[in-house]
Amino acid sequence: MKETNRKLFRSGMRDGIPIGLGYFAVSFTLGIAAKNAGMTALQAAVTSALINASAGEFIGFTLIAAQAGYLEVMVMEAVANARYLLMSCALSQKISPSTGLLHRLLIGFYVTDEIFGVSIAEKGELKPAYSYGVISMAAPGWTLGTFLGVLVGNILPLRLASALSVALYGMFAAVFVPPAKENRIVAALIGVSFAASFFFQKLPLFSGISSGVKIIVLTIVLSLAAALLFPVDRAGEESGKDGISGEAVK
């Protein structure tokens, strides 16, 4: 058992290294936002260590800079981070039933878009050892990048800071491109989600809806449609020629 856990931990570390490097780059701009809000490097680092959410932290630092009230901050943070509830629900179906409550709470605390992506793609049941391996590489990169962003972020050239801010999109691409190449249904669903997100953003009808709510609505609708149209064989077999593997989305 210990040897298995060590292998899983090393596997998680391997998958977490590119996430940590991406987080380190992206969180530099987060540190700049924290400094503009009047926070010290230590305060910003502690915030990143306790809030593993890029959009949530950017919103928080912006509201702090605007001297918003506690209630407004609470509501905006709840809306911006509500999508993690959906991710946690999905991961709870993949975690071994024998996993204890403490392990579940720790895994849930560190759920981010990228960590969720590699976790849900892990074959078989998700073991805590694998998750801790990913977290050990990803979380420090996010915290350290924020810390250094406060110290030296404003010294960086504007073009370099802008380049760092788009590194997150590269990480997203690294998460969904491999499964899209292997499965045409996944590729089609990704294309549909891109199109739906674009129209939600551009159509005046949805202009009054926050980006966080849009993400939640699109996630629920598209996931439900995919589940109804392309049901997964729980035994791990593909449902049809291009069916989605039960191990991939169990």
Domain boundaries, the chain: 2-165, 183-250
Q: Is the pLDDT of residue 11 over 90?
A: yes
Q: pLDDT band for 136, please (50, 70, 90 cuts).
A: very high
| Range scoring the smallest mean pLDDT among 85-89, 229-233, 245-249 | 245-249
Say whether pLDDT at 248 is over 50.
no
Per the CB < 8 A criterion, the answer to whether 151 and 57 are in contact is no
φ and ψ of 95, to 5 deg:
-70, 145
pLDDT at 82 over 60: yes
Residues in the chain: 250
Please give the Cα distance from 20 to 13 (Å, whole number). 10
Would you say residue 247 has pLDDT above 70? no
Which amino acid is residue 21, in one-letter code? L
> Which of 52, 24, 61 minimizes the C-alpha distance to 146?
24
Of 171, 61, 164, nearest to 112 by C-alpha is 171
Q: How many CB atoms lie within 10 A of CB 185?
A: 19
Q: How far is CA 173 from CA 2, 122, 167, 180, in A?
A: 34, 17, 10, 10
Non-local (6+) Cβ contacts of 34 within 8 A are: 43, 44, 47, 57, 61, 146, 149, 150
